[in-house]
Amino acid sequence: MASSDNLLHAVPVAPLKILALPGCENMAESIDSYLRHFRKERVQKNAAKKRIYGYQADSFLVHSECPRFGSGEGKGIIKESVRGVDLFLLVDVCNYSVTYPLFGQMNHMSPDDHYQNLKRIIAAVNGKAHRISVIMPFLYESRQHKRTNRESLDCAMVLQEISRMNVTNFITFDAHDPRVQNSIPLHNFDNFFPTYQFMKALLHSEPDIQLNNDHLMIISPDEGAMSRAVYFSNVLGVDMGMFYKRRDYSIIENGKNPIVAHEFLGASVEGKDCLVIDDMIASGGSMIDVARQLKERGAKRVIVCTTFGLFTEGLERFDEYHKKGIIEKIITTNLIYQTPELLTREWYESARMEKYLASIIDTMNHDVSIAPIMNNTTKINKMLKKHR
C-alpha cells in the first residue's frame, strides 16, 4: 500500500483523475481499484481525509474517446469535466492490438498513432486541469535517444514537445537511456524500475532458486544493461558477468548494425542459475544468443528478466529454445500490451505493476517525496530474508 505516514496527513494538490488512452483501459481499471482501496483504508485511520473534496470516489477514471474518420484522421474527446483536477494520462505506445478504420480497411495502431492520440487528449483538456501528468511506461522513441550520424533525435524532440504542452510530470519505466531527460532540464522526469516486482515474480515462478553466490550469477547481456545488473548483484550479494556486442558497422539491417558475436566477461557460470537482466526483448535474437552461450558454458538454468517484452518476431523461437532447455523462464512486466498467447506460455511469468503504479499516482497527487516509492531495496531485502 502507498500509505506511508507522510500520506496519512498530507493534502492532495487537487482532486485526482486518471484518463486511460486507447489500449490502457484494463490497466487503468486495476489502478483505480487499488487507489480506492488505499484511500478507504487511509480515511479509516484519519477521518479528516473524508472531508477533502474528491478524496474518495466511486471511481477516479475519466471517460474519453479518440475516434477516427474514414481517412484515418482522428480527434480526442473527453466525456466529462476535468477543470481543476490533478489529471494523470496513461498511454501504452506499444499496444498494436488497437485498430482503426483507414479507407475501408482496419489498421493497427503504431507507436506514432498512440503518441498523436496523447497530444489530442492533452489538447482536449484545453488548459482546464490543475495539473497534467503523463504516464508512459515504454518511453516513446527511447531507442532513438542519441545521434551517431546524420539522423534525428526523436526521443528528445518528443520530451520537449510534451513539455511545451504544459505537462508537469513525465513518468516512465526503465528508460533505454535515462540521460535523455537532459533534453528537458527544467521539467520533472521520473524514471522508475520494477526491481521488486521482478524478484517477487521470480520467487513465485522458481521457488526453489537459491539466492547465494554458490548457486546464482547475474548476467548483463550488453554494456547498456550494466547498471541494472550491478544493482541486482549488490542486493543479492552474488557475482556478475557481462556480454558485449561486436557489431558490423559497415552494414545496416532493420535500422541497426547487425551483431557479429557476443563476447563474455566474468567468472565461470558452470552449475549456476543465471539471471539475465535487461530493459527489453524486441525480436529476441540477441537474448536467445546470450542464453545459448550461457548454456554452452555450463549454466544450470537461464532465467531472463526484462521490463518490456515486445516479442516483435513472435513466440515460436522461444517455444523452441524452452523445449531445448536453453531458456527456463522469461519474466516481463505487464506495463505494455501482452498477447493472450504469451500469457499461456509455460516459460512466461508476468510481473504485475498495477499496485506500484497506483502507489506512484497516489504519492504524486499528495505532492510529497517520491523517494520512498522509488527505493525498492528495503522491500527486496525483507522479501529475501523471508525466502532464505
Give the whole-angstrom CA distance, residue 60 versus residue 40. Answer: 13
User: What are the tens digits of pLDDT across the range 274-332?
Assistant: 999 999 999 888 899 899 999 999 999 999 999 999 999 999 999 999 999 999 999 99
The pLDDT assigned to 145 comes to: 82
What's the grid cell of residue 206?
Answer: 522458481
The pLDDT assigned to 56 comes to: 92
Q: Are 273 and 217 in contact (CB under 8 A)?
A: yes
Output phi, psi for 253, to 5 deg: -125, 125
DSSP conformational letter for 13: S
The pLDDT assigned to 38 comes to: 94
Percent of the chain beyond pLDDT 70? Answer: 95
Mean of the per-residue pLDDT values of the chain: 91
Mean pLDDT, residues 133-156 taken together = 91
Output phi, psi for 171, to 5 deg: -120, 125
DSSP conformational letter for 256: B
Q: Are 239 and 218 in contact (CB under 8 A)?
A: yes
The pLDDT assigned to 1 comes to: 43
Please name the residues in contact with 320: beta carbons below 8 A apart, sequence gap of 6 or more.
none
How many alpha carbons lie under 13 Å from residue 294 in its C-beta half-sphere? 35
Give the whole-angstrom CA distance, residue 86 versus residue 82. Answer: 8
The pLDDT assigned to 386 comes to: 83
Please name the residues in contact with 164: beta carbons below 8 A apart, sequence gap of 6 or more.
none
Give the whole-angstrom CA distance, residue 164 versus residue 184. Answer: 10
What's the grid cell of residue 331?
Answer: 519474466
The pLDDT assigned to 39 comes to: 94
The pLDDT assigned to 248 comes to: 62
User: What are the tens digits of pLDDT across the range 193-249?
Assistant: 999 999 999 999 999 999 999 999 999 998 878 888 999 999 999 999 998 776 666
Q: Are 304 and 287 in contact (CB under 8 A)?
A: yes
- Residue 381, amino acid: N
Give the alpha-carbon dihedral of 27, 341, 345, 238, to 10 degrees.
-50
User: What are the tens digits of pLDDT across the range 324-369?
Assistant: 999 999 999 999 999 999 999 999 999 999 999 999 999 999 999 9
pTM: 0.91
User: What are the tens digits of pLDDT across the range 20-76?
Assistant: 999 999 999 999 999 999 999 999 998 988 899 999 999 999 999 999 998 989 999
Beta-sheet pairing, 259-265 with 240-247: antiparallel
